[in-house]
Amino acid sequence: MMGHINNLVVEMVRDALGDDAVADLFAKAELESRIYQPEVVYPESEFQALFRGAQSVFGVGSDDAEEAFAAYFMKRSPEMFPAIFEQAGSARGLIERIPTIHRNFPASASQDAYRDKVAIIESTPERIVLEYDSPNQLCNTLRRVARICLDYFGEEGAVHETCCKKEGAEHCRVVIEFHGQKAGV
Ligand code: HEM
């Protein structure tokens, strides 16, 4: 996982609970306290330890942690990357850009370590279908972020998962439907 996401987990804890909770987070994750290089790919095990640490610090399970993280991700992302949101212009515009945004994020030195986890397997005026395959099993986050994308751009639609790796499927599959006037834009 790229350091950008690890940093967001740390910042989410700091914003909600303060610096002492961040020290606690790293202790619970059994990691050295640090700031990550945003564009460097770190071991997935490090992200997983951090995310489990965050659950422990907040005293919540993985579903609640993913919901909170999705909300934090979609609060911070427009603040950090306003041009991406402006150019995207719509939920479809942003969701269609996910593979490109992710692929362009790692520094050149980390390109070899990067692999795609979110792929677009269908895009029609009515819907986009995403396939998600990751050892981090963040499909709840994916669904929730997609839902917040619709809300962010003031659009109507629906998000659902049609199969899930946690339930034995080969990949997770998330469908984003576009309803109302902006469908197909
Ligand atoms: C400004 C927009 C965005 C930025 C800057 C961004 C950036 C990133 C980065 C750097 C990663 C780490 C990738 C890796 O190391 O493999 C990531 C992961 C992820 N992103 Fe995005 N992203 C954006 C938009 C989105 C949107 C709109 C969605 C979903 C609708 C999304 C879903 C995810 C998911 C689910 C992961 C976790 C992948 C894993 O399992 O490791 N992202 N994002």
Ligand 1 residue neighbourhood (C-beta within 6 Å): 1-2, 4-5, 41, 77, 81, 84, 94-95, 98, 101-102, 105, 117-118, 134, 136, 138, 141-142, 145-146, 149
Distance 103 CA to ligand 1 centre (A): 10
The Cβ-side half-sphere exposure at 52, using a 13 Å CA radius, reads 13
By most ligand atoms within 8 Å of CB, the mutation choice from 5, 75, 96 for ligand 1 is: 5
Residues of the chain with pLDDT under 50: none
By most ligand atoms within 8 Å of CB, the mutation choice from 90, 103, 145, 147 for ligand 1 is: 145
Confidence at residue 136, expressed as pLDDT on a 0 to 100 scale: 98
- Residue-range domain boundaries for the chain: 3-59, 90-179
Confidence at residue 112, expressed as pLDDT on a 0 to 100 scale: 92
What is the average pLDDT value for the chain, to the nearest integer? 96
Q: What CATH fold (topology level) applies to the domain 90-179?
A: H-NOX domain (3.90.1520)
Confidence at residue 185, expressed as pLDDT on a 0 to 100 scale: 59
Q: Helices 44-58 and 3-17: crossing angle, nearest 10°? A: 10
Distance separating alpha carbons of residues 158 and 34, to the nearest angstrom:
38
Confidence at residue 180, expressed as pLDDT on a 0 to 100 scale: 76
Confidence at residue 158, expressed as pLDDT on a 0 to 100 scale: 98
DSSP 8-state symbol, 90: S
- Give 118's strand partners: 132
